[in-house]
Amino acid sequence: MSLFIYNSLSRTKEEFEPLHPGIVGMYVCGPTVYGHAHLGHAKSYVSFDVVVRWLRQSGYRVKYVQNITDVGHLTDDADEGEDKIMKQAYLEKTDPMEIAQFYTRSFYEDMDRLGVLRPNIAPAATGHIPEQIALIERLVKSGHAYEVNGNVYFSVKSFNGYGKLSGRTDQDSLQSGIRSGVRSDKRESSDFALWKKADEQHLMKWNSPWSVGYPGWHLECSAMSMKYLGETIDIHGGGMENKFPHHECEIAQSESATRKPYVRFWMHNNMVTINGIKMGKSLKNSVNLKDLFREIDPLVIRFFILQSHYRSQLDFSETAIKASATGLEKLRETRRRLREQKPGTGVFDILPFALRFTEAMDDDFNTPIAISVLFELSKAINAALDSSEGISDTSRQAIETFLDRAGQETLGILSQNSQAVEGNSGESVKRVGAIMKILLELRAEARKNMDFTLSDRIRDQLLDTGIEIKDTKEGAVWSEKSNL
């Protein structure tokens, strides 16, 4: 069985083979750091996190590069608009670098909580100005770019592959979408900026052969991916909304410079909608992750995201996320039960489940199917545990190995210690365990004496503090109730 990935460039699923055997070069467009991360970021980076994890599970060494955009680019290609980071710096009365650093840290905090593994390399745009200038020089030299008044533009007409990713090849219709009346030095209105001359007030600017200025917003990804992954990379990921113009421009400038294919597999993840409408900062309906985490376990959000396919839109609602929370709790509960169960004699065959899980992941990272396999497995495990034979120790170990690999290492939703008392040392965890043991013994005694008032009081009051008691055949067990 081999891995198939949907390639946005060919619009079909293709069998994946890396350019260099055993090693995958992967680049994903990172955030522009001028605000806290929102649900859209979560969907994107959780999705690509699972891609990376699965590639590694499949035996590849993945070199994962995800940039940090800390240059505040203009808000459009038409030579006007504002610099977002600079605007935020004025707003917060500080300088752009502090803004970028602050929100970069915030971004990683949120991603860590979602269980998103850090990229191998996280290059910042401001740290790669020389590489970007070198790329522009290469394009000017080869006639694909031209300078006017200190600005450098890429000539779209000079690259005839323009539009192959987005399907937008009709230059006339492209131009009709651009507003008229804007003064510009461009030869063609579809040309895009590689270097912009800075005006007086502009805060972030660098020397270049053309002017004191700053790089165009498509340039950093090309320059940095080539630097760290080579001129042809295996996988480039990003949000759908970046297909055009961002990725189209990346292809144009990169392939014009190198005369080699830039990306072998383009992967685009879909949007988060709220009540069916796209979530966006400009629409003022974006859901900030830090706010969300106060009410919902970050891993529930991760699970919720993975219950739909990365190429599908994900509609966020209170009821949908609650359903996910209950579902995830069910999987966790099964795992807990399995661990605590006394060994039986029953043989449990994990192989069919493992095969179906692999098949689902190999089919363009179909996490909803993969999760449905976990649910079916959960049901089978519970049924086996309820039966008189139970599950043998050998079978139990095989199941746990699979759950570690599938549930934790691949999907990142069943962490081994999810029920541990968070943020506490091993000592205090032990102490809580000892206290609970005493309480459960007292309650068992009360039940034996038919004193249900007392036994229910212990149960109810513990529940108020977030500890849940369940009476099973083997006696009472306790667990921490995850929020929501």
Residues 7-46 that bind RNA (CB under 7 A): 11-13, 29-32, 38-41, 43-44
**Residue 22 beta carbon to RNA: minimum distance, rounded to whole angstroms:** 28
Interactions with RNA, residue window 55-94 (CB under 7 A): 69, 73-77, 81, 84
CB of 259 to RNA, least distance (A): 26
Instruction: Candidates 15-23, 115-123, 266-274, 408-416: pick the segment binding RNA (CB under 7 A).
Output: 266-274
Number of residues that bind RNA (CB under 7 A): 94
In angstroms, give the least distance from the CB of 268 to RNA: 8
Q: Which is nearer to RNA, 228 or 478 (CB)?
A: 478
Site string for RNA, 280-319 (x = CB under 7 A): xxx------------------------xxx--xxxx-x-x
CB of 387 to RNA, least distance (A): 9
**Selected range binding RNA among 118-126, 136-144, 168-176, 293-301, rule: CB under 7 A:** 168-176
Contacts of residue 381, Cβ cutoff 8 Å, sequence gap at least 6 = 334, 337, 338, 348, 391, 399
x/- letters, 226..245, toward RNA (CB under 7 A): ------------xxxxxxxx
By CB under 7 A, is residue 389 in contact with RNA? no
Which tokens go with 152? 């450098």
| CB closer to RNA out of 19 and 161 | 161
- Please pick, from the candidates 61, 157, 375, 416, the single residue that binds RNA as defined by CB under 7 A: 375
When asked if residue 166 is in the footprint of RNA (CB under 7 A), the reply is yes
Question: With respect to RNA, which residue has the nearer C-beta, 20 or 452?
Answer: 452
